[in-house]
Each structure stands twice: as structure tokens, then as C-alpha cells.
Amino acid sequence: MRIGELAEATGTSTRALRYYEEQGLLRAERRANGYREYDEQAVLQVAFVQDLYRAGLSSELIREIIPCAGSKRPDGDCSALLGRVRQVRDQLAEQERQFAERRDMLERYLSGAALPAGIDSHLHEQVAPPVAANGS
């Protein structure tokens, strides 16, 4: 299939497919007229690459993973790659923890349960929306 057909089949832009090819993440054969020709496995390959990108992996790491995910026996050490992928996963978990901590801190400030250091409580009252005097 040609690049436009692959783009349509995967919901990916032709620009992204060319980038994947430049990065060594996708292989195309070249016809005599210079057109790229992809086999049917390319649809699955593109989906796999996109999944790994969404998971936060770099092109470099994805390029190393691809041979380990294929049906042929790879030349490299795939077990070492698992350690690197676990490291990325652990970094993401740490970032999630930090984001949750920051979000909780902001929630405490916004709810009035916490005040920034050195701020008097009367200042917080000035920032809070005023309550109507007549109760309406």
C-alpha cells in the first residue's frame, strides 16, 4: 500500500509516517517511480509506534523495542530493554505523584484549608468572594 493509503488506514498523517520512517520506526520499500510501498503489517507497526509514543517512550527507545516485539529472534538483548521501559514507567509514576501533590496543595489553598506562609487570615477573606449582606 502507498503512504496515503497507510495514512488513511491508521488515521495518521503522511508527515508522521515519513517521520517514523526517518527515525527507523517504520520500513517502506521504494518502487521504481520512487513511491513508498508498505506491507500490510505496517498498519500494526504504526499502531504499536503510536502506543509507545503515547506511553512516553522516545524514538530511540522505540527503535530498539521494535525488533524485540517481532516474530523473528532479535540480535540484541531484549531483557535489558525491559529494564529501561520499567525506568520510564517509574519516572511517570513519580511525575504523577508530584502532580497529585501539587494539585492537592492548590486545592487546600483554594478551599481556605491552608494559607501561604506569612499571609494573615484577613487577607484570605478579602480574596474570597463576599457574601451578600441581605442573605440573597
* pTM for the whole structure: 0.68
pLDDT tens per residue, range 45-88: 999 999 999 998 999 999 988 888 876 766 777 888 888 889 98
In the predicted structure, residue 16 carries a pLDDT above the cut 80:
yes
Residues 6 or more apart whose Cβ sits within 8 Å of residue 18: 3
Residue 4 included in any domain? yes
Residue 54 included in any domain? yes
Are residue 67 and residue 88 in the same domain, yes or no? no
pLDDT of residue 34: 87
Are residue 30 and residue 50 in the same domain, yes or no? yes
CA–CA separation, 124 vs 108, rounded Å? 12
The number of domains in the chain is 2
Last residue of a domain, one of 14, 49, 72: 72
Are residue 32 and residue 84 in the same domain, yes or no? no
pLDDT tens per residue, range 92-123: 999 999 999 999 999 988 888 877 666 665 55
CA–CA separation, 97 vs 94, rounded Å? 5
Are residue 19 and residue 67 in the same domain, yes or no? yes
Residue 131 included in any domain? no
